[in-house]
A and B are shown apart, each in its own frame.
Chain A
């Protein structure tokens, strides 16, 4: 996939660009807001990774200008300002996701992947499928191999997030934000506990495990080939 990284800290930019290139992506780097906006409107990218504080044009104005000119590419904000207010401000300006510095590369990669392959805005899928696991969004029912699985409401949401991102890593932080609306880092094993409860229901009684733990990164739900 093709990415545009707009980041004025050359050390961070080089680190991220190298990582993305190693994963087989094409990554262009701009170090100035105005140049970045020009580049983003001139060429087509799958995902834009934008630092919030930039010389020339700050990240917020850049995203606003991009959206105003009809640019639809998903935007991931990078920032050292991690307050909820800053987050909301960024999302309201038209960004799609938000990552606070310092970050782990795996976290950045997981979020970029989730953005790039995010289905089109109107998602009319009412039944999600991964292997023999089915999630009926209308009846709010889960089945595996035709066998009904009883899920608590939060377990259902957790499974939904994992299934919508099937085949790609979902980090612990992403789960905390999307399932529990927690915008802080819990000191107890909230995610691990609930993942293990979910596993006991969707994987334990069956032969093949669908939910994988990816070391130092997060979790991934995928059907074995």
Chain B
């Protein structure tokens, strides 16, 4: 079971594969080396046999029989171990000198087994038979050198194979263990995530290997997942908390209406209140859903190039009269061409929210300024007012869902306006900043300019 488990691991299979490959390569190279050497040795042996034969042949041609027999006898005497064999036959066919039996030898090159030559050895002999001046000369030489070569080759191959095998297995195991550790970590982390621990992350080394790249991508996906789940959790908590309050008020109104009906008085005013309350709940709900939709990132599908200045000017036109009716002044300075990639409806709602915030939360006489400015590849759209502003410590808080400043609790509003602004800004990769307009509040949004085609 353990073995089956091991062979299923990619790393182990990789290591085994590499080892097999290296072994095959080693066998091939050894075989080639052996056959080359063997060919070389055979050629050299043949050359030596030819050399001896030629020497005896020249003696047979130029000297007399006694010289030839003596030369042969000397050579025979020198070959005590019978590594070289000779047979000299006179013109009559009688054997003149020999250390091998008097049998028929095939003319030219041949291969003769040792026992035929009366030698107790397994190694065959290379034999050359030729004639010269009526004499027949046989010269043979053992193949034992070739046997030695084979032995040496096999020994060399065996040892190097063992070495290679050990190194390959060692390296394979080392790599396999390291890779396996990373894979096991990924497994364990994803398992933890699957069981709800969204804070789990993979370790990423500084080497930047492919596994690091994958780990980094997984970590990014996990971070996004965590923030999304956190957002959902936040929304659920917000809904639970902030919708139950108005629901309770609605219930009280309905109870009052029921009571009024029983008492015989008119429930009309309570019912009208209840209706208004239910509309308010619906609005809060819609706003929460809309923010969640924007945050889920579906907006990109509706992104098109559009002129931010156009959009701001149109909005300023719509709201100038509304501001005037509230005793405020709305100014607009948006004349630079300002192409961005965005969702027209979302951007309209975002800037409308900012302008409406200014109109609703500022006092008479306030001046609201809508501006679009361009500066090296950046576009900054801002809505500024000369109202009371937001204390620096509260600026992060007001971007949160359903958060409302103490003093604005009494005015109408869901506390979702700026949360929506933030969600739209993030969907557009725009940088949102709340600043002191001295006096008042300036909300600025920095967009990346659309690269010109």
Contact = CB atoms under 8 A, between A and B. Distances in A.
Interface of A: 82-85, 100, 102, 152, 154, 180-190, 193-194, 196-197
A83 B359 CA distance: 26
A54 B406 CA distance: 44
B301 A189 contact: no
B325 A189 contact: yes
Interface residues of B, number: 28
A187 B349 CA distance: 11
A188 B359 contact: yes
B397 interface: no
A187 B356 contact: yes
B286 interface: yes
Given A84-B345, A182-B348, A182-B352, A187 B413 contact: yes
Contacts of B326: 188
Contacts of B360: 187-188
B200 interface: no
B269 interface: no
Contacts of B356: 186-188
A154 B317 contact: yes
A110 B349 CA distance: 25
Given A183-B345, A186-B356, A187-B360, A83 B322 contact: no
Nearest to B413: A187
A173 to B, nearest CB: 12
B241 interface: no
6 contacts: A181-B345, A184-B352, A185-B286, A187-B356, A187-B413, A188-B360
B412 interface: yes
A188 B323 CA distance: 9
A98 to B, nearest CB: 14
Given A182-B349, A186-B356, A188-B359, 5 more contacts: A82-B290, A102-B278, A189-B322, A193-B322, A197-B321
B248 interface: no
Nearest to B286: A82
A82 B289 contact: yes
Nearest to A83: B293
B290 A83 contact: yes
A184 B290 CA distance: 10
Nearest to B317: A154
A187 B286 contact: no
A194 B413 contact: no
Nearest to B324: A193
Nearest to A81: B289
Contacts of A181: 345, 348
A57 to B, nearest CB: 25
B282 interface: yes
Nearest to A185: B283
B286 A188 contact: no
Interface string B356-389: 1001100000000000000000000000000000
B345 A193 contact: no
A184 B349 contact: yes
A193 B352 contact: no
Contacts of A84: 302, 345
A85 B298 CA distance: 9
B171 interface: no
Contacts of A190: 318-319, 322
Contacts of A82: 286, 289-290
Q: List 8 A-B pairs, minimum CB-CB distance, nearest first.
A: A193-B322, A184-B349, A188-B356, A187-B356, A193-B321, A188-B322, A83-B293, A188-B359
B349 A183 contact: yes
A105 B326 CA distance: 31
Nearest to B283: A185
A169 to B, nearest CB: 18
A154 B127 CA distance: 118
Nearest to A84: B345
Interface in B380-418: 412-413, 417
A170 to B, nearest CB: 18
Nearest to A196: B325
A40 B298 CA distance: 34
Contacts of B283: 185
Nearest to B320: A193
Nearest to B417: A187
Contacts of B319: 188, 190
B322 A85 contact: no
Instruction: Tell me which of A84, A100, A185, A194 has the highest count of chain B C-beta atoms within 10 A of its own C-beta.
Output: A84
A82 to B, nearest CB: 6
Interface string B337-360: 000000001001100110010011
Contacts of A154: 317-318
A159 to B, nearest CB: 15
A2 B170 CA distance: 85
A182 B282 CA distance: 18
B302 A85 contact: yes
A180 B286 contact: no
A83 B349 CA distance: 13
